[in-house]
């Protein structure tokens, strides 16, 4: 019996030694005292801050609200004073824990500009927003569920030039809803389309009706005219300047000049007519009415009797 107990104890000691050797060979993180970290499915932490400056129009305000509704990963902020510098937005994004920003800036209560920036390192782009139509204004038949994820569709022109490629990557990171976002729905039922025409970016939003790809427009719709691209966030070295851009002030000045030119042309035409029509076109003899000859078939009344008396 004593020999059997000794054999069992030796086997147990050998097993303990083997286990200790295996533990030493394994990495230290497996047997660390720290509790294991919880793995979350939401790995893309993109958040977009959407707000505006004071002085924007009611249509621009409704457009901003529509974008907040379509982007569940967005956050809001109170209006910024126009006297503040744009660099303050980087600090606001840091406090809101946002790494992307869409800032609507209004000027002269009629012009709307949009800043799209990657905070705080850049790049950033400044657009002129044109032809704005909101969801409530369009009254389209399409509809999509709130907080659903959109598909992004880009024009092939975005891959032909460098500045369009940079804008495409910025739009992908800004408008795409992260997968497994807590406020989003796990399905796709609408499409954001970005098309390039006339050196502008045309934005449209369509609902996916059937699996065959039939679409119907929802809204909103607007046109982005790029002005300038910067290396940093809301400033820095200029990467691209749009040579086809015409400022709204210059456009209004040209329209006023055209209207003034029409008035000037009318004045010139009137003066030229006055110079050409100086008086009578030919000289008249004042005695032509006294010594007039009347034919018998043309005479009437007293003139006819006089004619016959003279004839007698």
Q: In Å, what is the CA distance from 144 to each residue of 147, 151, 179, 206, 288? A: 9, 13, 18, 9, 90
DSSP conformational letter for 155: -
Separation of alpha carbons 180 and 186, rounded Å: 7
Domain ranges for the chain, please list them: 48-248
Whole-model pTM: value is 0.72
Q: What's the alpha-carbon Rg for the chain, to the nearest Å? A: 41
The larger pLDDT score, comparing residue 202 to residue 45, is at 202
Please list, residue by residue across 135-156, b when 16 or more beta carbons sit within 10 angstroms of its beta carbon and e when fewer do.
beeeebebebeebbbbeeebbe
Give the class (CATH, top level) of 48-248. alpha beta
Q: What is the pLDDT of residue 144?
A: 84
Residues in a beta bridge with 192:
152, 205
User: CA torsion sign, 252 to 254 to 260 to 265?
Assistant: negative
For the beta carbon of residue 164, count every other beta carbon within 10 angstroms. Answer: 18
Closest by CA position to 198, among listed 224, 162, 235 = 224
Out of 21-25, 76-80, 260-264, give the one with best mean pLDDT.
Answer: 76-80
Candidates 71, 76, 86, 120; CA nearest to 100 is 120
* CA separation, residue 115 to residues 10, 13, 119, 225 (Å): 76, 71, 11, 11
Q: HSE (CB half, 13 Å, CA atoms) of 34?
A: 6
pLDDT tens digits for range 268-297? 888 887 777 766 666 667 777 676 666 656
Q: What is the pLDDT of residue 25?
A: 55
pLDDT in tens, 100-148: 999 999 998 889 999 999 998 889 999 999 999 999 888 887 788 888 9
- Report yes or no: 153 and 193 within 8 Å, Cβ to Cβ: yes
Cβ neighbours of 118 (radius 10 Å): 19
Name the band, by pLDDT with cuts 50, 70 and 90, for residue 92.
Answer: very high
């Amino acid at each position: 019996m004593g020999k059997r107990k000794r054999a069992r104890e030796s086997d147990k000691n050998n097993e303990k030694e083997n286990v200790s050797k295996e533990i030493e060979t394994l990495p230290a993180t497996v047997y660390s005292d720290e509790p294991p970290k919880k793995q979350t499915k939401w790995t893309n932490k993109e958040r977009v801050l959407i707000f505006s400056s004071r002085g924007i129009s009611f249509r621009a305000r409704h457009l901003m609200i529509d974008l907040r509704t379509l982007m569940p990963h967005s956050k809001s902020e109170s209006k910024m004073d126009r006297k503040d510098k744009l660099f303050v937005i980087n600090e606001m994004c840091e406090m809101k824990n946002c790494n992307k920003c869409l800032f609507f800036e209004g000027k002269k209560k009629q012009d709307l500009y949009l800043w799209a920036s990657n905070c705080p390192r850049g790049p950033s782009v400044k657009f002129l927003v044109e032809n704005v139509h909101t969801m409530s204004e369009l009254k389209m038949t399409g509809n999509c569920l709130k907080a659903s994820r959109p598909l992004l569709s880009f024009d092939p022109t975005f891959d032909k030039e460098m500045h369009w490629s940079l804008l495409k990557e910025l739009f992908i990171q800004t408008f795409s809803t992260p997968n497994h976002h807590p406020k989003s729905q796990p399905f796709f039922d609408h499409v954001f389309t970005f098309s390039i025409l006339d050196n502008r970016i045309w934005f449209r939003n369509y609902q996916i009706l059937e699996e065959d790809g039939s679409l119907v427009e929802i809204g909103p719709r607007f046109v982005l005219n790029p002005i300038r691209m910067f290396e940093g966030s809301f400033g820095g070295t200029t990467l691209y300047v749009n040579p086809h851009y015409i400022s709204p002030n210059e456009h209004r000045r040209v329209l006023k000049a055209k209207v003034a030119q029409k008035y000037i042309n009318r004045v010139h035409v009137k003066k030229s007519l006055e110079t050409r029509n100086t008086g009578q076109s030919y000289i008249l003899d004042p005695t032509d009415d006294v010594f007039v000859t009347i034919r018998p078939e043309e005479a009437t009344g007293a003139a006819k009797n006089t004619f016959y008396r003279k004839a007698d």
